[in-house]
Structure 1
Amino acid sequence: MQPTFVLVHGAFANSFSFAPLQAELGLLGHRSVAVDLPGHGFAATYPRAYQAPQDPEGLATAPGAIKGVTLADNVAHLIGILERAKRNGPVILVSHSRGGMTATVAANQRPDLIDRIVYVSAWCPVDLDVSSYYAEPEMATVDAAGLASAMVGNPAELGVLRVNFRTADPGVLAAFKAAFLADGTDDEFLAFLNTFQPDETLDAGTPDDRARPDSWGQIPRTYVRLAEDTSIPPAMQDRMIREGDALTPDNPYDVRTLAGSHLKWLVDPAQAARVLGEVAALLPAGS
């Protein structure tokens, strides 16, 4: 039976990010559904102050609908989608970047709904919680100042992480491009940047949200490395793989590598779609 790819986006992103990939998957004969986590996509908040001409003071104080949304809310939403997808056959859960946190907890809670889990340069915490990984040596090359320089307002007061992706500051834009799509054209970069939403949840998970060997660890899994990623560097991606393999050595990752940056596989998705097709072929016959 044909599997369904369930695609989970990363921070400040939404289901729109996956449109080119879904087109490629569809042309290869694969079924997919792209998820909007709570407060994302058409449920996102774009304050009037975010529009040109921007109002910096208003942007720093305007409320956002994503305030109060937790990782648990994301997981519950995703499980609901997985339940519906599973009625139609096997499910391959694919997550990118911060979406890996949601996918991991969903797999902890409902491994019965997932036939294979795929991480594409995504967080799968095993030894530490995600926030703690940022202080580890593998993340030393990440330019955190670039994103921080575009942050707006006080997250503790706003109740959200808010970033001004519509800034005209050339230095900030250059930092964004280096972090997300250094191997893309300027036009590709700006087009993708305009799909981002300004608000993201504050909840980055706890030690209780790490992968569990008796549930998550029993699901066949694939890790797709992005070889030129500067947001989650290959060294950290490799650490995620090593930790997962050490947790369940009898069920190691199937590891694939794609050339490109954090977002290039979404901008130019033909190779990624072929890799996912190869992953689908790993499902047992009759699944």
Structure 2
Amino acid sequence: MRNLPTFVLVHGAFANSFSFAPLQARLALLGHRSAAVDLPGHGFEATFPTAYQAPQDLDALAVEPGNIKGVTLADNAARVIEVLERAKRNGPTVLVAHSRGGITATAVANARPELIDRLVYVSAWCPVDLPVGDYYAQPEMADVDAGAFAATLVGNPAELGLLRTNFRTADPASLAAFKRAFGADLTDDEFRTFLNTFQPDENLDVGTAADRAQAATWGRIPRTYVRLADDTSIPPAAQDRMIREADALTPDNPFDVRTLAGSHLRWLVHPEAAAGLLAALAATH
């Protein structure tokens, strides 16, 4: 019997392994192994201060310490490498990253390409020509509305040593802005359910120029980019720019490009099409 790969799943900002539960259920029913990683300071390592609970005390929340303070991109990469080393004992591995998780996936692929049989970015950051932070100043990101995060940011990131966002806000304008950014095509109940899986804290390290995709290591791994056609958080134009830059870096190993309909979060809430796509990729190994 052919040894099918293990999917190693890497979440995005403020998220955790819980995000992948519906997708993992679908993959399991298709006969596939998967391991969803909690990056350091995420999942059950996250901080949920008492002040974050209702009734909220935003003044206290603004100064409460968080476990994710000091976590670096190198720490994230080490966590994923540890999982990949164990998964590799069972056969091929497919590293799947969503959103900010793409930064970690790129760092892992730069460091340990031999652990990965295929890289899959799902509307994920794949920094090639620029550090991730600089892409936000590019024309492809001009229509992204950062207002929801700005309005719900709690505390001073420089003093806290982390980003803290109040996803439990009851402000209608902020909730509407979050929904437009992440899940405009979800029902209100689906969106609020997903929002309640988010954690308030995220680390500050998004990498530097040294963490961009490296042709000699990252560039030799077969890779797929799954575009999300209706994403307004990382718009298709930004996704396409990263695909072009990557293909220019390693023209002999271009992205295999696929497209799914839907917003930034829809593929996780309704994972049928994504599971089928990943299963088809697994059949190539």
Is TM more than 0.5 here? yes
Amino acid in structure 2 at the alignment position of 1:210: R
Query: Would you say 1:183 and 2:185 are equivalent positions?
Result: yes
The two structures, once aligned, show a CA RMSD in angstroms of 0.4
Shift of 1:204: 1.0
Partner residue of 2:118 out of 106, 116, 123: 116
Inter-partner Cα distance in structure 1 for 2:206 and 2:116: 23
Instruction: Identify the residue that residue 73 of structure 1 maps to in structure 2.
Output: 75
User: Secondary structure of 1:80's partner?
Assistant: helix
Instruction: Identify the residue that residue 224 of structure 1 maps to in structure 2.
Output: 226
Instruction: Identify the residue that residue 277 of structure 1 maps to in structure 2.
Output: 279
Instruction: Identify the residue that residue 241 of structure 1 maps to in structure 2.
Output: 243
Inter-partner Cα distance in structure 2 for 1:280 and 1:88: 14
Inter-partner Cα distance in structure 1 for 2:236 and 2:4: 32
Cα displacement string for residues 13-51 of structure 1 (whole angstroms, at most 9, x for unaligned residues):
000000000000001111100000000000000000000
Instruction: Identify the residue that residue 154 of structure 2 maps to in structure 1.
Output: 152
Inter-partner Cα distance in structure 2 for 1:207 and 1:280: 32
Inter-partner Cα distance in structure 2 for 1:282 and 1:133: 32
Shift of 1:278: 1.0
Shift of 1:282: 2.0
Inter-partner Cα distance in structure 2 for 1:160 and 1:146: 17
**Mapped contact 2:14–2:202 kept (Cα < 8 A):** yes
Structure 1 unmatched ranges of 5 or more = none
Instruction: Identify the residue that residue 22 of structure 1 maps to in structure 2.
Output: 24
- TM-score normalised according to structure 1 size: 0.98
**After TM superposition, what 4+ stretches of structure 1 lie above 4 angstroms from structure 2?**
none
Cα displacement string for residues 209-254 of structure 1 (whole angstroms, at most 9, x for unaligned residues):
0000000000000000000000000000001110110000000000
Shift of 1:148: 1.1
Amino acid in structure 2 at the alignment position of 1:241: I
Instruction: Identify the residue that residue 40 of structure 1 maps to in structure 2.
Output: 42
- TM-score normalised according to structure 2 size: 0.99
Instruction: Identify the residue that residue 264 of structure 2 maps to in structure 1.
Output: 262
Inter-partner Cα distance in structure 1 for 2:46 and 2:271: 25
Instruction: Identify the residue that residue 199 of structure 1 maps to in structure 2.
Output: 201
Inter-partner Cα distance in structure 2 for 1:240 and 1:183: 24
Shift of 1:2: 1.4
User: Secondary structure of 1:245's partner?
Assistant: helix
Q: Percent identity among equivalent residues? A: 75
Partner residue of 1:171 out of 151, 170, 173: 173
Inter-partner Cα distance in structure 1 for 2:129 and 2:281: 26
Amino acid in structure 1 at the alignment position of 2:134: S
Inter-partner Cα distance in structure 1 for 2:5 and 2:78: 21
Inter-partner Cα distance in structure 1 for 2:70 and 2:201: 12
Amino acid in structure 2 at the alignment position of 1:213: A
Amino acid in structure 2 at the alignment position of 1:148: A
Cα displacement string for residues 132-168 of structure 1 (whole angstroms, at most 9, x for unaligned residues):
0010000001001121111000000000100000000
Amino acid in structure 1 at the alignment position of 2:156: N
Inter-partner Cα distance in structure 1 for 2:184 and 2:102: 22
Amino acid in structure 1 at the alignment position of 2:204: L
Inter-partner Cα distance in structure 1 for 2:283 and 2:219: 20
Inter-partner Cα distance in structure 1 for 2:4 and 2:280: 13
Amino acid in structure 1 at the alignment position of 2:257: V
Inter-partner Cα distance in structure 2 for 1:111 and 1:204: 20
Partner residue of 1:208 out of 207, 210, 213: 210
Amino acid in structure 1 at the alignment position of 2:126: C
Inter-partner Cα distance in structure 2 for 1:58 and 1:164: 12
Amino acid in structure 2 at the alignment position of 1:282: T
